[in-house]
């Protein structure tokens, strides 16, 4: 099966793809408000309590109210950057896409957004991308993650491009395992059908 056809079939058997499509006006609303969301997020991060009270944290830290070297190491702006980096990484966690979803109308109830059976093949796809040194996919992945992070909202409307890229990466890992493809597609049809059933029930 050609990669393009397999990718389309996997995308069409991913419940969250249909949920975003069914709630398209609401999803587009998030994108229309994206500039305001980014400005608000940047403003809130620049006014973080940690940054405002960093000096007080040093003086009342672990060194008995002395602004010494240990307090400066424990409480500094680089730790704020590190914390923000870990927040950024949360937008890439597989659990969001292959298991739990975002808890909004863009995620199915009690089902995974993308078939969880694809997760092992997603890992194989990542390894294939690294082996082939295809930097376009990881670059696009990071860019769309950044959009979600900058918005301050972890929902699959703004992360829809990341969801699509996850399906594509899974396709790269699955395409060489032809015997497994029918099982993956049957399960995808099942969870998509269940999602429709649960949505209307």
Mean pLDDT of 86-102: 85
Q: Residue 43: its pLDDT value, please? A: 78
Answer with the residue of higher pLDDT: 119 or 81: 119
Confirm whether 174 is domain-assigned. Answer: yes
Average pLDDT over residues 108-127: 91
Determine, yes or no, domain membership for 46: no
Question: Taken in order 75, 80, 85, 88, is the CA torsion positive or negative?
Answer: positive
Phi-psi region of 103 (alpha: psi -120 to 50; beta: other; left: phi over 0): left
Q: What would the mean pLDDT of 145-154 be, rounded to a whole number?
A: 86
**Does residue 166 lie in a domain region?**
yes
172-191 residues labelled b (16+ CB within 10 A) or e (exposed):
bbbbeeeeebeebbeebeeb
In a domain, 54, yes or no: no
Range of the domain at 26: 3-37+90-200
Is residue 84 situated within a structural domain? no
127 within domain boundaries: yes
Q: Is residue 194, in this structure, part of any structural domain at all? A: yes
Average predicted confidence (pLDDT) for the chain: 82
Confidence of residue 105 (pLDDT cuts 50, 70, 90): confident
**Confidence grade of residue 14 (pLDDT, cut at 50, 70, 90):** very high
pLDDT in tens, 157-189: 999 999 999 999 999 999 888 889 999 999 999
pLDDT range class, residue 63, cuts 50, 70, 90 = very low
- pTM strictly above 0.95: no
* pLDDT grade for 135, boundaries at 50, 70 and 90: confident
The position carrying tokens 């990071």 is 142
DSSP 44-78: HHHT-HHHHTHHHHHHTSTTSS---HHHHHHS-HH
Residue 53's pLDDT band, with cuts at 50, 70 and 90, is low
| pLDDT (0 to 100) of residue 68 | 55
Q: Please count the structural domains in the chain.
A: 1
Find all residues with CB under 8 Å of 140, minimum gap 6, and list them.
Answer: 161, 165
């Amino acid at each position: 099966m050609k990669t393009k056809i397999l990718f389309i079939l996997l995308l069409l058997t991913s419940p969250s793809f249909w949920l975003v499509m069914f709630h398209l006006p609401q999803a587009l609303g998030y994108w229309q408000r994206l500039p305001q969301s980014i400005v608000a997020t940047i403003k809130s991060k620049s006014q973080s309590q940690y940054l405002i009270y960093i000096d007080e944290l040093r003086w009342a830290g672990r060194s008995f109210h002395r602004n010494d070297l240990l307090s400066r190491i424990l409480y500094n702006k680089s730790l704020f950057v590190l914390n923000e980096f870990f927040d950024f990484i949360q937008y890439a966690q597989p659990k969001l896409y292959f298991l739990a979803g975002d808890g909004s109308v863009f995620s199915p109830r009690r089902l995974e957004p993308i078939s969880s059976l694809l997760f092992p093949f997603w890992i194989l796809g990542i390894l294939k991308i690294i082996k082939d040194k295809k930097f376009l996919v990881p670059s696009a992945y990071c860019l769309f993650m950044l959009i979600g992070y900058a918005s301050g909202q972890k929902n699959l409307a703004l992360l829809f491009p990341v969801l699509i890229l996850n399906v594509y990466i899974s396709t790269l890992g699955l395409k060489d395992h032809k015997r497994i493809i029918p099982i993956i597609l049957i399960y995808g049809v099942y969870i998509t059908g269940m999602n429709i059933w649960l949505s209307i029930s």
